[in-house]
Every structure is written in C-alpha cells, then in structure tokens.
Amino acid sequence: MSKPLTIVTIVGARPQFIKAAAISRVLRQRHREVLVHTGQHYDASMSAVFFQELDIPEPDVNLAVGSASHGAQTGAMLAGIEEVLLAERPDWTLVYGDTNSTLAGALAAAKLHIPVAHVEAGLRSFNRAMPEEINRVLTDHVSDLLLCPSQTAVDNLAREGITHRVALVGDVMADVLRLAVERADAALPDIPGVESGAYALATVHRAENTDDPARLRGILTGLSSLEMMVIFPVHPRARRAIATIGWTPPDHVRLIEPVGYLSMVALMRSARVILTDSGGVQKEAYWLGVPCVTLRDETEWVETVTHGWNTLVGADPEQIVAAARQPYPSMPRPPLYGDGHAAERCVAALEGVGRLKVEG
C-alpha cells in the first residue's frame, strides 16, 4: 500500500456520529484522520454520549456552530471547515449523509480543490422541498468519490449522469448496529410500566414535521390515538415545536429525553412497532425485524417499503393508527444494504483512488 493518507472527516449530527464510528475504526488502522465536529448537534444528549458509547475518538476540532437558520448555520460551518482544510491540506475530505454539515464540508473542500468522498451517496426522496434533498443532490454533484449504500442509490446517480467514481459499498450503519446489538440489552432504559413487545417507539425530528404545525398536530393526534403505550424520546427541535402548539400528551404517551445510541437500539429491539421520520431508524427497524411506520410522504429507503416492513403514512392520524395496528409482515425480510462490512469497502475505495485522480 502507498503512504498513509490524511483524511478530514466532517460530522455534526447523530446519524453521522454512528457512521463515522464504523469508518474511523477501520481508517485509523492505516491512516491519519482529523475529525471535525461542526457542533450542529451540540448538547450532551445529542452529541457527547454518542462519542462515548461508540468509542469514537474525541473530535480534533469542534466548530460549535450551534443552532441557526439554514443559511447562517451553513455559512458558519463553511468558514470554520475552510480554515481546517487550509491548515491540513488533506488527501480527502469525508462527508456523511444529508445535513448542513455534509453540504458545508463538501463545498468548502470542492472550492479548495480537495477531493470529496460522500458516504451514503445517491439517496433521493425526489422532494426538493426537503432541505436534506438539496444537501444530497449538491453534495453528490461536487463529490469525487460516491460511496453508495444500495443499487437503487447507484441507479439514482446514473439517472443524473453520474456513472464514474461510484462505488457500491453497502450501509455503514449496518456495521455499527451489528456491534451495538451485542451491548444493547444492558442499556435498556428503565421506564416504569413498559412491557417488551407491547409498546410503540416514536421519533420525530425532521423540519417538514416539526416546523409545520398542521403536520405536527396530525402526528401527535395519531400517537395519542394508539391503543398501546408510546415511548417518545423527544428531539430538542420537536420539544420546542410541541411547546409552541401547546400539546399535552395523554397518559399513555411517555415523553422522555433523547437517549444514547445503545439505549435507542435496545428500545427499538423491544418495540412492537416503530413510528419515525428518521431515515436511519427506518433501516435499523428493518434490520432488527420490527415493523416501521414512516411519518413522511416519501422515503429514500424504498426497498423497506417494497418488502412490506415499512409503511408511509405522512402526518395523517387515521393512517398512523391503521398502520400501527397492522399484524407483523408476512413477507420475507431479505438482506438489504450490505453485510456489515461497508466500512472496509469505503476505506478500500479511498485507498484505491489517487489524489485528484478518481477513476470510474
């Protein structure tokens, strides 16, 4: 193998911490990684606990940008990331997913002619009203190496004219989940009255739901109408939105603070059904064999719907209740999104491509 590479990795949100845990573990065996935390998720429950639980190295740089409008937040990240890249002049800038941190890292590197590798490339909801969709599309089109979790993602890129520099590697979240399941049982939160297999687990965080009072009320009405206990770890954005509309949960809907990754895996494994607007949780529900109800009108993870383990309901209360009542899927659950070794393939792809000479 050629000389060790220097990689600047950009993370800023919970799903990115999880993905980085898998790749950093492999990357640091042979290469130098500079880990930059933008501070997009900045409180302990949304950030620090993930670094501790997943054995992620402490960030080398924390930009601490905090919460702000899309433009202000992305702009602050751009300025901070650019300083790091100018100081390090890495062989690669590695970005994950579809957040403002993703786009800021990709743009900062592209402007400096530093190669960009995008983990989770090629995902599309085909809804340009989603800020995440804009981030995905722009990041993919400035990236030099596109690391795709599925053949569907590869096909999406091909439809946009991107057929070179594309690698089908699988999903790095499967790598982390495989390890987390071994430790999850010890992390199950102690919630009085909760019976394994008899509750729904809910998560809501996307702007399309939290920033639209009508959609948020519809989702909360649906949760209130379920005939089972609902455990609802509340994202800070959702908590602010719930307070704004003045919703008071009924007794069977338990609002709890955000939990760490291992506790979340434990809660998912024991749930009867999962209701979420999170892309990552949709996949994890599928891998764990728990039916999922997606609180969105579309999903990037279309295969989970095709195979009958995920139902799209939007924010309609009646559809939410009907989907949550469905019996366990009778359809088989074939392997999707890789075999738990995606991180190794990602690092091999980075090693196999020379600086600014990315081949198809």
- In whole angstroms, what separates CA 66 from the centre of its chain? 18
How far lies 215's CA from each of 220, 242, 292, in Å? 9, 12, 19
Sheet holding 199-203, edge to edge: 253-256, 229-233, 199-203, 273-276, 292-294, 310-312
Query: Which residues are known to be catalytic?
Result: 205
The DSSP symbol for 59 reads P
Report whether 320 contacts 219 (CB < 8 A): yes
| Nearest of 208, 207, 218, 225 to residue 245 by alpha carbon | 218
Is the CB of residue 23 less than 8 Å from the CB of residue 108? no
Q: How far apart are the first and last CA of the chain?
A: 20
| 241 close to 208: Cβ distance less than 8 angstroms | no
Taking the C-alpha atoms of residue 153 and residue 164, their distance in angstroms, rounded to an integer, is: 13
Report the alpha-carbon angle 324-327-331, nearest 5: 115
Integer angstrom CA distances of residue 96 from 18, 146, 177, 352: 10, 11, 17, 19
The answer to whether 312 and 296 have CB atoms below 8 angstroms apart is: yes
Q: Determine the angle formed by the axes of helices 236-245 and 213-225, rounding to 10 degrees.
A: 90
Backbone phi, psi, residue 202, to 5°:
-120, 140
Cα separation, 356 vs 9, in Å, equals 17
DSSP 106-132: HHHHHHTT--EEEETTT---S-TTSHH
